[in-house]
Amino acid sequence: MERLLTKYAAKLVADGLADEGAPLLGGLDAELVFNRTDPGTEILEQVFAGLNVNSLLACRPAEPYGSMIDYLATRGRDAIEPRDTETRTYLHDLPIVPERGAAALVGALRRRKSAIVPGGEVVTFGTVSPEQAFVSYSSVCFACYVKFMADCLADHRTGGIPADAREILDRALSLVERPPDRMPAVLRGPFDDAEQVHRALIEAGRLTVEHRMVDSYFGNISYRAGDTLFISQTACSLDELSGCIDPCPLDGSSSTGITASSELSAHLEIIDRTGCRAILHGHPKFAVIVSLDCELPDCENAHRCHTHCTQPRAIGDVPIVAGEVGTGRYGLHRTVPPAFEDARGVIVYGHGLFTIGDVDFTDAARDLFAIEGRCIDEFVRRVG
């Protein structure tokens, strides 16, 4: 347990989500242990006693996340309500507790996967592993970053960004790490056997995470070799894909797809329509942010944009489409594949970005980075 607590504390720092020494993680195995000594452990011990969990994480995120979360929390009532897809499907909303007390935290964490404490601190839990607490924390940081930036765009359209928000915005933009202009070297395809495919998927997944094109365990990746689609499993980290890749026969003759990414159907449809071999799906922040920006706030579909948006929108030559996770009536497997007809990538409203490669992940990764860079520039232009 102590090894896991140390691992995820270090991962939070490496991912830019926490300052060195800030994460406080507790884990319950044979006994309750923490990754470091801190006065806050007394309250967390009481939270452990009130919940059936095996791990807790408490931390004020690194900048600019901490200031963004604090700003949103001071203007919220009971919860922060982001509009991105991760929040809709995984977090639902982010409850704000009135104080850093055990009773308030237990009450919030019985209903949701996270709690926001005044001052911008985030508290999350895991029922099986500290990894779950890490995932929730990472998702909260992503959701609040996207909401804060999207709110700035909306405020700019309707009268101006408040001075205190503009200060946070300017600091956040100064900290943005642009994707690389030059494509990092990747394995060259085509790949014909499972071992080659696994190596290519592991490498491309790692690059996607290292360049912050995806947060927590969201995003997915696949490669078609012959009559089999190799795809990342659902709820796996793209930088830890070893042992987490499913071979799915294109004729559906195997049940291996039962643990595959929830977007398996979208990958299959994209391959069928485009003839590509490689697909990358990341959640780069600014692609998600600009997808939420709309000039029609009074549209009849304003509160269900993620499924019902009918307005043709794009960032340059990259279309923005509606669509939700899964295979339902409004599933993105229906909207994304046809949008690839004349596009090098497709942005899904509030969700993320799909790119493709003909023989390997060279073009897919290059376009993923380039489109996110374009979205950063477009955000700066729109926000003035």
295 CB-contact burial (10 Å; exposed 0-12 / middle 13-18 / buried 19+): exposed
The answer to whether residue 189 sits within a structural domain is no
Residues 24 and 166 both lie in one domain? yes
Q: Which of 174, 202, 233 is the last residue of a domain?
A: 174
Residues 116 and 148 both lie in one domain? yes
Amino acid at 6: T
CB 125 within 8 A of CB 109: yes
Q: What is the pLDDT of residues 13-26, one digit of tens each?
A: 999 999 999 999 99
Residues 241 and 367 both lie in one domain? yes
Q: How far apart are CA 165 and CA 265, in angstroms?
A: 40
To which residue do tokens 């104080």 refer? 99
Backbone angles phi, psi at 72, to 5 degrees: -65, -40
The pLDDT score that the predictor gives to residue 215 is 75
Total number of domains constituting the chain: 2
Distances (CA, A) of 177 to 149, 220, 288, 304: 15, 22, 16, 32
CB 214 within 8 A of CB 247: no
Instruction: With a cut of 70, say whether residue 216 has pLDDT above it.
Output: no
Split at pLDDT 50, 70, 90, the class of 159 is: confident
Q: How far apart are CA 319 and CA 39, in angstroms?
A: 50
Which positions ≥6 away from 353 have C-beta within 8 Å?
A: 213, 281, 282, 283, 284, 287, 345, 346, 347, 368, 371, 372
- Determine the straight-line distance between the first and last CA of the chain, rounded to whole angstroms: 48
Residues 141 and 239 both lie in one domain? no
Q: What is the pLDDT of residues 344-363, one digit of tens each?
A: 899 999 999 999 999 999 99
Backbone angles phi, psi at 379, to 5 degrees: -60, -50
* Of 130 and 310, more confident: 130
Q: Does pTM top 0.75 for this prediction?
A: yes
Residues 133 and 54 both lie in one domain? yes
Instruction: Provide the token pair at 324.
Output: 């939700």
The answer to whether residue 183 sits within a structural domain is no
The pLDDT score that the predictor gives to residue 311 is 77
On average, the pLDDT of the chain sits at 90
Backbone angles phi, psi at 91, to 5 degrees: -100, -30
Q: Strands (DSSP E) along 293-341, which ranges?
A: 313-315, 318-321
Q: Percent of the chain at pLDDT above 70?
A: 94
Boundaries of domain holding 265: 194-383
Split at pLDDT 50, 70, 90, the class of 262 is: confident
The pLDDT score that the predictor gives to residue 254 is 64
The pLDDT score that the predictor gives to residue 274 is 95
The answer to whether residue 187 sits within a structural domain is no
Residues 253 and 156 both lie in one domain? no
Residues 198 and 277 both lie in one domain? yes
Split at pLDDT 50, 70, 90, the class of 123 is: very high
Question: Which three-class secondary structure state does DSSP give residue 314?
Answer: strand
The CATH number given to whatever domain includes residue 230 is: 3.40.225.10
Q: How far apart are CA 237 and CA 259, in angstroms?
A: 14
Residues 241 and 199 both lie in one domain? yes
Instruction: With a cut of 70, say whether residue 101 has pLDDT above it.
Output: yes
- Mean pLDDT for 63-76 is 93
Q: How far apart are CA 109 and CA 354, in angstroms?
A: 33
Question: Which three-class secondary structure state does DSSP give residue 109?
Answer: helix
Q: What is the pLDDT of residues 161-212, one digit of tens each?
A: 999 999 999 999 999 999 988 777 788 989 989 999 999 999 999 999 888 8
The answer to whether residue 182 sits within a structural domain is no
Residues 357 and 217 both lie in one domain? yes
Q: Which of 139, 174, 209 is the last residue of a domain?
A: 174
Instruction: With a cut of 90, say whether residue 304 has pLDDT above it.
Output: no
The answer to whether residue 186 sits within a structural domain is no
The answer to whether residue 180 sits within a structural domain is no
Residues 262 and 149 both lie in one domain? no
The pLDDT score that the predictor gives to residue 182 is 76
Instruction: With a cut of 90, say whether residue 295 has pLDDT above it.
Output: no
The answer to whether residue 372 sits within a structural domain is yes
359 CB-contact burial (10 Å; exposed 0-12 / middle 13-18 / buried 19+): middle
The pLDDT score that the predictor gives to residue 36 is 93
Q: Which of 174, 207, 238 is the last residue of a domain?
A: 174
Distances (CA, A) of 152 to 65, 101, 116: 15, 32, 21
Angle in degrees, 0-180, between the axes of helices 362-383 and 130-157, rounded to the nearest 10 = 40
Q: How far apart are CA 183 and CA 373, in angstroms?
A: 13
Neighbours of 114 (CB within 10 A): 22
Residues 245 and 315 both lie in one domain? yes
The answer to whether residue 379 sits within a structural domain is yes
Residues 150 and 237 both lie in one domain? no
